[in-house]
Chains A and B, each alone.
Chain A
Amino acid sequence: MTVVALALASCGLENDMMLPKDEATITAFEVEGQVSSSINSTKRVVTVTMPKDEALNSLKITKVSYNEATINLESLLVEGQVVDLSDTLRVTLKAYREFEWKLIAKNQEVAPTPEPGPEPKPEPVAQLYNLSFDFWSKPKNAWFPYDAGATDEQKSIWATSNQGTADILRKNATTPEESFLAIGGEGKKAAKLSSQWMVIKFASGNLFTGEFCGLKGTSGADLAWGVPYTDRPSALHGYYCYQPVKIDRTDSAHSSMKGQMDIGQIQVILADWDKNKWEGYPEGAIDEKGRFHVINSSNQFVDFENDPAIIGYANFEFDEWMDSYQEFDIPIVYRNDRKPSVIVICAASSRYGDFFTGGAGSVLYLDEFVLKD
């Protein structure tokens, strides 16, 4: 009867719905005479670097822009305006909610002149197309990690599962990131891998070298791992920023992981998969192009420890929350002296995404990969 009393007592309903979460962000900011400027939209900080000993109290804005959601533009900073950044300048942007941004200026620290090192190697290892993750295109609903004008060869390097989810569910787990970058600059982008609940299944943000061959029912996908590569790099270098949430989606085999912090992963495999050379693989696991087909619904995975075709392997896993990018250098451990035929670089915002296990909301930013000599 308490409920009855409560229901009778409530004469009307209150509209206590939340305001939209659209964020108001600064998308570009430059001042006259700057060395560089960077925008961190996660922390809502704009950092301007000025030449050494340059005064910071009277800086003329040469470029400033805001995203579409931002309103009340007339009350915000405009191009040509002179601002004092000798102390942190706080600016309140408004979309539906208010967002406080900090504008910081600092003088460039002159780096010590590097000592002359050894001569560069005459033949550096080959780099793959779009290791910087600067090139993206969206012909229809899915984001692809290559430029709209890329050649077929370039298009065949990086793949994601977006094309399996974007058309049906209108969701992309892997998207370009334009404002939160490891190294900013004109046209620079990063990759943003976001683990998500996709209406009926959990999906990890993913990015790999190879081809997305299609969905397998509603319980899996066929991913062809590997693109042609014959060098032997010593390490994979790059920048990453991982922002995990606790695992809230699991399959029955991993239900014990619920509540644990999600794990991100970057792997590198150099192999010479060849169905005529090696035996013991499941039927159809290795195709004509020497690629390995990972099919999670058939439990068909690479045996990282025992696969005889693996020449070099590197694995990097992490589960700590990061506010900014960190540089990484993942050494590739070689198991023999053979020459590889393919390379697999594979990253996931949820390590156990193949088993539909992870935290919806875990985000992994990747930027500026380089294969080191």
Chain B
Amino acid sequence: MKKVFIAALLLLVSASGFARQPKFDRGLGDASNTFVPKGTLALGASMAYHHASVGEGDNGYEFLGLLTGVKGQMTTLNFSPAAFYFIAPNTAIGVRFGYDSKIFDIDGASLSLGESLNMDLSNHYAQSIGYAGTLAMRNYVPLFGSKIFAMYSEVRVGGTKTQSKAYSMDGNEKNGTFSDGYSVVFGVYPGLTAFVTNDLAIEVGVSMFECTYSYTKQTKNQSFTSSMSSQGTTFKPNILGVQFSVMYYIQVKR
């Protein structure tokens, strides 16, 4: 009975082509066109560094007359190299590594909301370092049969470890918290890539789907502990997570 039903269905499908009209083509080209051949090694990296120093001089820097006496500095460094190997045309597996470091020092700052309402924001320091390791698999779909432009979809499984501390100075001692955090992430990250030379491509990717679990253990003044855990799934583009990077393709095996 089941076989009869399937046969009837196939007949119906084939009958739908009775008009024998050509299939509507969107002009995207054939996804099986080779965009990157098998045996190619792709190396890439993205990096960001930012340093700001505020308030050297007499009274500290002033913002809009509200935030006064600002003295401090901020440094952020983010570095994430990646390596992929194409195990088949347009399909690559690879690893990503991430390093993230942030330092915020507010030596002095005061929020003035009027003659009689001042809030002292001085003496706050924060520092964090994070490492991430990820396994990834990528599939490219060339656009319009192009060998220059392609969409890709990357699936990642990885984990991060972060350490951070936030404190204020009490004489020569640091009064505050120290945190150890771990997280695991599974996600899908689509993007667009474009070759600018024969071997060099720039790409932009965005987080589309993510499952995360994180756990952070915090210790205050080496004596009092607390923890925070969170898990969740998001299925929407994370605009803040748009990432630009550069990839260099080397043909290592024909």
Residue of B nearest to A12 (CB): B163
Contact B127 A13 (CB under 8 A): yes
Residue of A nearest to B171 (CB): A18
B118 at interface, CB cutoff 8 A: yes
Contact B178 A10 (CB under 8 A): no
* Interfacial chain A residues near B128, Cβ < 8 Å: 13
Contact A13 B129 (CB under 8 A): yes
A17 at interface, CB cutoff 8 A: yes
A96 at interface, CB cutoff 8 A: yes
Contact A200 B118 (CB under 8 A): yes
Q: A7-B103, A200-B119, A218-B117 are in contact. Are A15 and B219 (CB under 8 A)?
A: yes
Within 8 A of B (CB), among A278-335: 297
Contact A18 B77 (CB under 8 A): no
CB of A358 to closest CB in B, whole Å: 15
Give the docked Cα–Cα distance between A217 and B113 (Å). Answer: 14
Residue of B nearest to A3 (CB): B75
A20 at interface, CB cutoff 8 A: yes
A229 at interface, CB cutoff 8 A: no
A8 at interface, CB cutoff 8 A: yes
Give the docked Cα–Cα distance between A82 and B129 (Å). Answer: 55
Contact B164 A13 (CB under 8 A): yes
* Interfacial chain A residues near B175, Cβ < 8 Å: 17-18
A19 at interface, CB cutoff 8 A: yes
B101 at interface, CB cutoff 8 A: yes
Q: A13-B129, A13-B163, A17-B220 are in contact. Are A219 and B116 (CB under 8 A)?
A: yes
Within 8 A of A (CB), among B52-105: 75, 77, 79, 99, 101, 103
A-B interface, 6 closest residue pairs, ranked by CB to CB distance from nearest: A219-B116, A18-B173, A15-B178, A13-B163, A7-B101, A7-B77
Give the interface of B toward A (CB within 8 A): 49, 51, 75, 77, 79, 99, 101, 103, 115-120, 127-129, 163-165, 167, 170, 173-178, 219-224
Give the interface of A toward B (CB within 8 A): 3-4, 7-8, 10-13, 15-21, 96, 197, 199-201, 217-219, 297
**What are 15 contact pairs spanning A and B, CB under 8 A?**
A7-B101, A8-B79, A8-B101, A11-B129, A12-B129, A15-B165, A17-B174, A17-B175, A17-B178, A199-B119, A200-B117, A200-B120, A218-B117, A219-B115, A219-B116
